[in-house]
């Protein structure tokens, strides 16, 4: 069972890799015309929703994997808080992406929404990289 959960956990981490390219993709939105911005934002909304499902997979499999070894409590707290931060800000990004679509459809400028989404995407990227660091360098209970 451990190996299956580990495989699913790794697949979930790969699926969350979307957050690595998200700042780059949002950065391209400012260089596109209105219809291009709308299409990109719609695609990013769909990809973000899929990444959110991978976050749920990470929660379930990570919770199981934490029970299989003697990890330090501080490590479990840090990893859980990082995960919750990624999930929360990943969800918050949804609003500016939707507002980009709405602004383009109504003929308004979407620059402010693009900038907000880009800042949030960099925050998620930072949390994701720190989370990967803690996954690679786990803290075990000293014996």
Residue 143's pLDDT band, with cuts at 50, 70 and 90, is: low
pLDDT per residue over 11-43, tens digit each? 999 999 999 999 999 999 888 888 889 999 999
Answer whether 134's CB lies under 8 Å from 79's CB: yes
Helix (H) or strand (E) holding 31: none
DSSP conformation letters of 38-102: HHHHHHHHHHHHHHHHHHHHHHHHHHHHHTTS-B-HHHHHHHHHHHHHHHHHHHHTHHHHHHHHH
pLDDT, mean of residues 70-99: 94
Answer whether 126's CB lies under 8 Å from 58's CB: no
Alpha-carbon span 34 to 31, nearest angstrom: 10
Answer whether 111's CB lies under 8 Å from 128's CB: no
Alpha-carbon span 88 to 123, nearest angstrom: 11
Task: Report which of 82, 93, 64 is spatially closest to residue 6, judged by C-alpha positions.
Answer: 64
pLDDT, mean of residues 75-88: 94
Average of per-residue pLDDT values in the chain: 92
Res 93 pLDDT > 90: yes
pLDDT above 70 covers a percentage of the chain that reads 99
């Amino acid at each position: 069972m451990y190996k299956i959960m580990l495989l699913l956990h790794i697949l979930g981490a790969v699926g969350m890799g979307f957050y690595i390219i998200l700042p780059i993709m949002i950065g391209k939105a400012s260089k596109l015309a209105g219809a291009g911005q709308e299409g990109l934002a719609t695609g990013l909304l769909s990809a973000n929703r899929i990444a959110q499902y991978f976050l749920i997979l990470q929660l379930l499999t990570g919770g199981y994997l934490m029970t299989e070894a003697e990890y330090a409590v501080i490590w479990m707290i840090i990893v859980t808080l990082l995960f919750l931060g990624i999930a929360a800000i990943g969800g918050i990004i949804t609003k500016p992406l939707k507002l980009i679509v709405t602004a383009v459809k109504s003929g308004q400028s979407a620059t402010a929404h693009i900038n907000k989404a880009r800042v949030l995407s960099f925050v998620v990227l930072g949390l994701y990289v720190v989370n990967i660091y803690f996954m690679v360098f786990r803290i075990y209970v000293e014996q």
